[in-house]
């Protein structure tokens, strides 16, 4: 069974939602809306795709649905063979699922993208390929560094805590301190959760560099390898301690970011006081932003909210790096003063 997901970007909140699961059993394609579509509708006013108007219906076809097939490059294009090379696929590859899984199928005319379902291997590890994002925003020196990459070269992940456009943004970094792109934003929350659990079990390497004049969006192909999450055989005490350690590490990262922000604002001002007279003012957070701050998955926040306001206040305070209490108001989460 081959599986793809279709993700939707809310243009206002800049949040990504996996809204569709596409499967192919060798004969039929099946299109099903996921729980993410209902969540996107409740939080951001997502409307079902025009050809698939009902969220609770299963759509089946022997042909690939147009919302996916229209994201494939026509084989008649003169640069089609080059495109397949950019994806690092065999020249004879004609499986649309494999091509979309590697290319992402994203177009400038809409807010949808495609990504595959990761599947674990026998060792419990999974691999996923993606093209580095945001290269058009990088300085010339970073692009030149990318062009000098060798396949297999290791990259390091880092989070941009103060990125106001994409939170949590994850940068791709070289050993010699170049930022060479970003992870796809629709994968950020999952990758960050893996990093918080055990950063040594997450690895990113260069799969292929497509030299100019290849468009920048297809310049750097990366491969991420990580340990599949499976704690069924792990001792409960060990699992609990590891979770506590991950939360502590996350709290330290957030606090260090806030201290750095304070120091930056002090530049050029009086040095009489080591810290501002008034505490740092926290802004309302989206569910995705709060999940990053608390070091939990968005689904955990949803579950805590469903248990009532008092429960959520206590639950959020225990997980907040500064022990702040949070309250949900509409689609945002607001910090409360003690």
Per-residue pLDDT reduced to its tens digit, 147-178: 999 999 999 999 887 666 666 789 999 999 99
What would the pLDDT profile of 282-323 be if each residue is shown by its tens digit?
A: 789 998 788 878 877 777 788 889 889 998 998 888 888 778
Amino acid 283: pLDDT: 86
Q: Is the pTM value of this prediction over 0.85?
A: no
Q: How many CA atoms lie within 13 A of 263 on its CB side?
A: 6
Same domain, 21 and 101: yes
Q: CB burial class (10 A; 0-12, 13-18, 19+) of residue 153?
A: middle
Residue 4 shares a structural domain with residue 104: yes
User: What's the number of domains the chain is made of?
Assistant: 3
Cis peptide before 213 (omega within 30 of 0): yes
Condensed to tens digits (0 to 9), the pLDDT of residues 48-60 reads 999 999 999 999 9
Residues 201 and 264 in one domain: no
Contact 283, 324 (CB under 8 A): no
DSSP E strands in the chain: the ranges are 2-9, 16-24, 29-33, 58-61, 112-116, 125-131, 154-160, 169-173, 179-182, 202-209, 220-227, 325-329, 332-336
Domain containing residue 147: CATH number: 3.30.70.2330
55: left (phi over 0), alpha (psi -120 to 50) or beta: alpha
pLDDT at 192: 85
Please tell me the distance from the alpha carbon of residue 131 to that of residue 207, in angstroms, as a whole number: 10
Rounded mean pLDDT of the chain? 84
Looking at the structure, do residues 4 and 21 belong to the same domain, yes or no? yes
Instruction: Based on the fold, state whether residues 5 and 113 are members of the same structural domain.
Output: yes
Are 214 and 285 within one domain? no
Over residues 247-275, the pLDDT tens digits come to 555 556 556 555 655 656 565 554 444 44
Mean per-residue pLDDT, 218-231? 82
Q: Is a pLDDT exceeding 90 seen at residue 326?
A: yes
Mention every residue, 6+ apart, whose C-beta is less than 8 A from residue 186.
7, 9, 16, 18, 113, 115
Residue with structure tokens 């997980």? 319
Q: Is the pLDDT of residue 19 over 60?
A: yes
The yes-or-no verdict on residue 232 having pLDDT over 60 is: no
Q: Are residues 146 and 225 in the same domain?
A: yes
Angle (CA) 224 230 236, round 5°: 135
Q: Among 97, 117, 137, which residue terminates a domain?
A: 117
Residues 203 and 221 in one domain: yes
Among 91, 117, 143, identify where a domain stops: 117
Query: With contact defined as beta carbons under 8 Å apart, do 252 and 321 qualify?
Result: yes
Asked whether residue 210 falls in the same domain as residue 244, the answer is no
Q: In what order do the strands lie in the sheet with 179-182?
A: 125-131, 220-227, 202-209, 154-160, 169-173, 179-182
Q: Which of 92, 117, 142 is the last residue of a domain?
A: 117
Residue 137's pLDDT is 92
Residues 107, 124 share a domain? no
Q: How confident is the model at residue 244 (pLDDT cuts 50, 70, 90)?
A: low
Helix or strand or coil: residue 68? helix
7 and 109 inside one domain = yes
pLDDT tens digits along 88-121: 999 888 899 999 999 999 887 789 999 998 878 7
Is the domain of 263 the same as that of 218? Answer: no
Range of the domain at 150: 120-230
């Amino acid at each position: 069974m081959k599986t793809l997901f279709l993700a939707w970007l809310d243009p206002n909140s800049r949040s990504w939602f996996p809204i569709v699961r596409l499967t192919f059993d060798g004969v039929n394609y099946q299109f099903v809306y996921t729980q993410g579509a209902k969540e996107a509708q409740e939080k951001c006013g997502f409307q079902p795709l025009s050809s698939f108007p009902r969220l609770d219906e299963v759509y089946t076809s022997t042909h690939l649905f147009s919302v996916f097939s229209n994201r494939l490059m026509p084989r008649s294009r003169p640069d089609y063979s080059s495109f397949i090379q950019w994806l690092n696929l065999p020249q004879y590859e004609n499986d649309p699922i494999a091509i979309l899984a590697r290319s992402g199928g994203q177009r400038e005319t809409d807010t949808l993208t495609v990504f595959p379902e990761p599947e674990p291997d026998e060792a419990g590890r999974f691999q996923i390929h993606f093209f580095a994002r945001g290269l058009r925003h990088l300085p010339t020196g970073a692009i030149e560094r990318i062009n000098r990459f060798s396949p297999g070269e290791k990259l390091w992940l880092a989070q941009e805590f103060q990125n106001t456009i994409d939170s949590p943004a994850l940068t791709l970094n070289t050993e010699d301190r170049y930022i060479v792109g970003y992870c796809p934003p629709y994968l950020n929350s999952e990758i960050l959760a893996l990093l918080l659990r055990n950063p040594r079990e997450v690895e990113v390497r260069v799969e292929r560099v497509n030299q100019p004049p290849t468009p920048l969006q297809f310049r750097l192909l990366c491969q991420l390898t990580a340990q599949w999450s499976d704690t069924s055989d792990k001792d409960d005490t060990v699992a609990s301690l590891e979770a506590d350690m991950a939360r502590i590490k996350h709290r330290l990262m957030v606090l260090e970011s806030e201290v750095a922000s304070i120091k930056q604002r002090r530049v050029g001002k009086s040095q009489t006081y080591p810290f501002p007279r008034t505490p740092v003012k926290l802004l309302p957070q989206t569910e995705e932003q709060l999940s990053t701050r608390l070091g939990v998955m968005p689904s955990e926040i949803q579950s805590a909210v469903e248990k009532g306001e008092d429960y959520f206040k206590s639950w959020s305070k225990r997980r907040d790096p500064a022990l702040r209490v949070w309250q949900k108001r509409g689609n945002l989460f607001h910090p409360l003063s003690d």
